[in-house]
Structure 1
Amino acid sequence: MKTTSLLCTAMQKFILSAILAMPVSIAALAQTGQLQERNKDVILKYQERINSGDANGAVQYISKDMKNFGKVVGQDGVRAVLNDVFTTFPDWRAETVEIAAVGDAVIARQKVSGTHLGISKIPVNGGLLVNVLPTGNRFEVPHLHWYTIRDGKIVEHHGNRDDLGMMQQLGLVPRSLPAPGIQPQPDNTTNCYPFKAPRNLSG
């Protein structure tokens, strides 16, 4: 009987402790949820500035020592990339299809499009468009971006883009290759020869 009484007392204490801890746990979950929503808002506002062609406004959401694929680029590096993108694709736009936040990370799946009307000078978008003359063609490809947010700023970024699809749609890379033993023929879709580097490509 004494053992049963001790077990009951211990169980009561455990239940009481759990009940007392519940408000703290609920508050912590609520706080985490609010932080994740704020982090998503940072990325959405950052993307809004990019879509409006405002490089200076966009870098306000970038930390001074922000890393891109592990390399420190900071605000100046991001500004340079954005200005080059805006020159190459004046109508560059990224539509956020899905966005999710986990901890300090925000993952965004996007549909990115633009019209090739300028000449890129720095190796962005895979470095495939440096010094390439404008084709006047439009592209639309998927992007996936992973951001780390701290104190309302983007401190790190990784991403995955369909650069090959972009180049194919711009007419700079053939959409398909001939079977082995078949003589390459001009590709009327891309206006370039299979196995031949894009014209005006240097660097």
Structure 2
Amino acid sequence: MTNDESDPKEVARRYVEVVWNEGDIEEMDEILTKDQVYHDPTGDGEEPLSEFKEFIRGYHQAFPDLTFSVDRYIAEGNLVSFWGRATGTHKGSFMDIKPTGNRIDIMGINVVRVNDGKVAERWANFDIFGMLQQLGHDPLSV
């Protein structure tokens, strides 16, 4: 592994490009630890890499052109924060919502902790409410 590959910002960039933009399930073994810890507004705890692979596979089936454009990466020690926008076209089932053909455009913020050149812990907060509205599913109008 070269110095660039172990630099936390480079690990975070690779995480975004390979995992989110390419959806490369096989390459995820080289980017994330086997049992990374995940935190989001709905809960947190250990997440086996196999579960995260299924999550990514589902996102890419629902949004085959999914792209996460990062505005900035900021690193302090082994923590890297980054934010930007995710866009894509809803062409597959997502959260029991049948394909709509609608485009999504949402903002999100992430922090990753890098350990030995791999993402070992993740924090994320995306505008899921806005995404559901863009898919024509407003949770407030139940």
**TM-score over 0.5 for the alignment?**
yes
CA distance in 2, matches of 1:75, 1:59: 8
The answer to which structure, 1 or 2, has the higher relative contact order (CA under 8 A, 6+ apart) is 2
Structure 1 stretch displaced more, 62-71 or 94-103: 62-71
* 1:166 match: 131
Larger Rg: 1
CA distance in 1, matches of 2:38, 2:65: 24
Structure 2, unmatched stretches of 5+, are none
Identity %, equivalent residues: 28
User: RMSD between aligned alpha carbons?
Assistant: 1.9
Q: Does 1:96 align with 2:74?
A: no
- The total of aligned residue pairs comes to 134
Q: Does 1:150 align with 2:115?
A: yes
1:53–1:101 Cα change, 3 Å: same
Compute the displacement of 1:117 (Å). Answer: 0.8
Q: TM-score, normalised by structure 2?
A: 0.86
Give the number of the structure whose residues are more often strand, by fraction. Answer: 2
Segments of 4+ in structure 1 off by > 3 A? none
Match of 1:66 among 16, 31, 36: 36
Q: Deviations over 1:120-152 (max 9, x none)?
A: 3xxxxxxxx2x2211110011111001111110
Compute the displacement of 1:115 (Å). Answer: 0.9
Q: TM-score, normalised by structure 1?
A: 0.61
Give the number of the structure whose residues are more often helix, by fraction. Answer: 1
